[in-house]
Structure 1
Amino acid sequence: MTTQECRPDVRTPEQGGVPLTTEPRAPHAQAGPADQAAPAFSPDTDPLEIIRWALEAHPDVLMPSAFNLNGVVLLDLAVKAGYQGEVVFVDTGYHFPETLQTRDRLAARYPELSFVTLNAGAHPEDGQTPSDLYATDADACCAARKVAPLQAYLRQQAPSALLNARSRDQAATRAEIPFVEAGTRVKINPLAHWTRERLEAYARDHDLPVNPLYWDGFLSVGCWTCTRAVRPGEDARAGRWAGKGKTECGLWAGGNAL
C-alpha cells in the first residue's frame, strides 16, 4: 500500500478556483445525463460487470470516497473486479475519529490500493476557514474544505472518469442517477440500483469494516458538525446538514459538481 498525504493549493474564485458558495441549496437536483457511449446496462446488472467495463473503457479511473457503507462495499467490489488505483479522501478537519479509523482499517485490508488523503491533518483552527463557518454558511464550508481540495487534485491528475458509490435510494438528489453519467468527467455509479438492505447484507456477508457510527443510526457520515443520526422513516442522507435545506456537499450536484 502507498499512502500519500497531499495538500493542493486552494485557489480563490478570482484565481479560477471553486466559488465559496455552492448550489443548489434546495434538496432536489436533476441527475446528469446517461452516457450514451456506455453499454445499456439493466437495473439487475452485476456491479462487477460495470466496474470491469469501467476499468477497460477508462484505465485512468479514480475513486473518491468518504468511507460510508456504500463506499466500503464499492471498495470491496472494485478490488474483486481488478481495480488497483487511487482511493481519494478529503480530510475536512471535522471528521469523526471513527471515520479516520475506518479509512485506516480499509487501507490495511486493501494493500493493492493507493489511499490518498487530501488536506491531511486539517483541523478547525487551521485557518482555511473561520472556525464557525460550518454554522453560518455550510455551503461555503463544504466548498472550501471539501470541494476545492478535490477539484484541485482532479485538475492535477486529470482522470477521464470517477468511480463512485452513490445509489438511488440515498436521497431525492440521487433518485435518478444512471450507471454511467456523462459530464466533464464520466461518473460511474455501479451501485446505483442497490438498496440499503442489499448493501448491509453484502457488508455483513463479507465482514467489511463499516464505520461503527453506521450501526448507531448515522446512515451517512460526514463532518461531526453537520451530521446527526437518521430518524425512523427518513432517507439515508437526512442526517446530513439537517435543517439547512441542503443534502449535497457540492461534489455531485450544483455548478461546481465533479
Structure 2
Amino acid sequence: MTDTGSLGGFAAATGLVGAAAVPRTGYRDPEVSPSGAPTTTTHLSPEQTAAHRALVDEWNDRLEGRTAEEIMAWVNDHLTGTIAVTMSMQDTVLAELAQGRVHDAELVFLDTGYHFDETMDVAREVDERYTLPLRTVEPVLTVEEQTATYGPDLYRDNPTACCRMRKVEPLARMLNPYEAWISGVKRVDSELRKNTPILDVDRTGRLKINPIVQWTDQDVEDYIEAHDLIIHPLTRQGYPSIGCATCTLPVAPGEDPRSGRWAGSSKTECGLHL
C-alpha cells in the first residue's frame, strides 16, 4: 500500500518537487526512443479516414446531449471491427458502459511500470468482474531497463520523454489493430479539454469516441455509486486524478483536480489526448 500521508513528504520521496536534476552524462539521449518496436500508429487508408470523418460530420451534433449509454449503443450500431476501450483504472465507468452494449470491444490498460499498487489491484478486479477481454500493454523497456539506458528518475528530469516512452508510444502500438477507440476524457478535466467533441478523428484516421465527455466529476461519482462499481481507494484519499505514483500528488479540497499530476512542473498532459 502506497503511503498517502504528507504531501511534502511524498513529494520529497518521489522527487517531484524541488529536487536537483540527475546528470544524464553517459546515458542515451531521452529524445531517442528504444528500438525494437514501432513508436507510431499506422495510418488508416484514405477511404477509412474519410468514412470516419463522414460519421463525425453527420453524427457529432446529433449525439450532443445524448446519454453515455446511448452513445455506446450508437458505437455498437454504426462501427464494425473490435473497439478499444482505454482504461486508466482510476475508475471503471467505461468498462461498465461498454459491457453488454459494445459487443466487440476490448478493455485496454497501459501498465507503465510506475502505477500505484492500488491501480494494479483495480486492474485485477476489472479482469475478474467483466467478461470483455482485458488487454494489458507495456512499454518496450522495464523500469529497470529504462534506468540503465536513460539514467535514474527520468520522470523527474524529463517527464515528457518518460510519458512518451511509457504511455504515448505503447498506446500508438496498441491502436494498430483497431479502427476506433473509446476514451474517458471529460470537458471539465481541464481548460485544454473543454471543447472536446463526442466524436473525433485522430491523427491516424481512427475514430475516437468520448462517451462521457459531457459528464461532470459528480456525474462520475453518481454513476459509480448507482452501479456499485469498483472504487480506486486513492480517489477517497485526496487523489481526484491518478496517474503514475512517481508523478501524482494528493490535491487539497477546492484545488484543480488535475493539479496533482506532474506537480512542480509545467506539464499538464501525458500526450495521449493531444
Residue of structure 1 in register with 2:56 after alignment: 35
Residue of structure 1 in register with 2:87 after alignment: 65
C-alpha displacement of 1:191 = 0.3
Q: Does residue 164 of the first structure (1) align with residue 186 of the second (2)?
A: no
Which structure has the larger Rg?
A: 2
Structure 2 residue runs of 5 or longer lacking an equivalent are 1-31, 41-54
Q: CA separation in 1, counterparts of 2:231 and 2:64? A: 25
Match of residue 48, structure 1, among 44, 69, 79: 69
1:210-249 equivalent positions in 2, closer than 5 A: 210-249=231-270
Paired residues of 2:139 and 2:167 also in contact (CA < 8 A)? no
C-alpha displacement of 1:252 = 0.6
Match of residue 218, structure 2, among 197, 201, 206: 197
1:1-258 equivalent positions in 2, closer than 5 A: 17=39, 35-41=56-62, 43-60=64-81, 61-69=83-91, 72-110=92-130, 112-119=131-138, 123-127=142-146, 129-155=150-176, 157=177, 159-183=178-202, 184-253=205-274
C-alpha displacement of 1:102 = 0.3
Paired residues of 1:162 and 1:188 also in contact (CA < 8 A)? yes
C-alpha displacement of 1:236 = 2.4
Higher helix proportion, which one? 2
Bigger RCO of structures 1 and 2 (CA < 8 A, at least 6 apart): 1
Structure 1 residue runs of 5 or longer lacking an equivalent are 1-9, 19-33, 254-258
C-alpha change, 1:55 and 1:245, in structure 2 (3 Å) is: same
C-alpha change, 1:41 and 1:210, in structure 2 (3 Å) is: farther
Residue of structure 1 in register with 2:25 after alignment: none
C-alpha displacement of 1:193 = 0.7
C-alpha displacement of 1:42 = 5.2
Paired residues of 2:56 and 2:201 also in contact (CA < 8 A)? yes
C-alpha change, 1:231 and 1:218, in structure 2 (3 Å) is: same
Q: CA separation in 1, counterparts of 2:241 and 2:142? A: 21
Aligned residue pairs: how many? 224
| RMSD (CA atoms) | 2.5
C-alpha change, 1:107 and 1:206, in structure 2 (3 Å) is: same
TM-score when normalising by structure 2 = 0.74
TM-score when normalising by structure 1 = 0.79
Q: CA separation in 2, counterparts of 1:211 and 1:138? A: 24
C-alpha displacement of 1:129 = 4.5
- The percent of aligned pairs where both chains have the same amino acid is 35
C-alpha displacement of 1:122 = 6.9
Of the structure 1 ranges 162-171 and 76-85, higher mean CA displacement relative to structure 2 is found in: 76-85
C-alpha displacement of 1:121 = 11
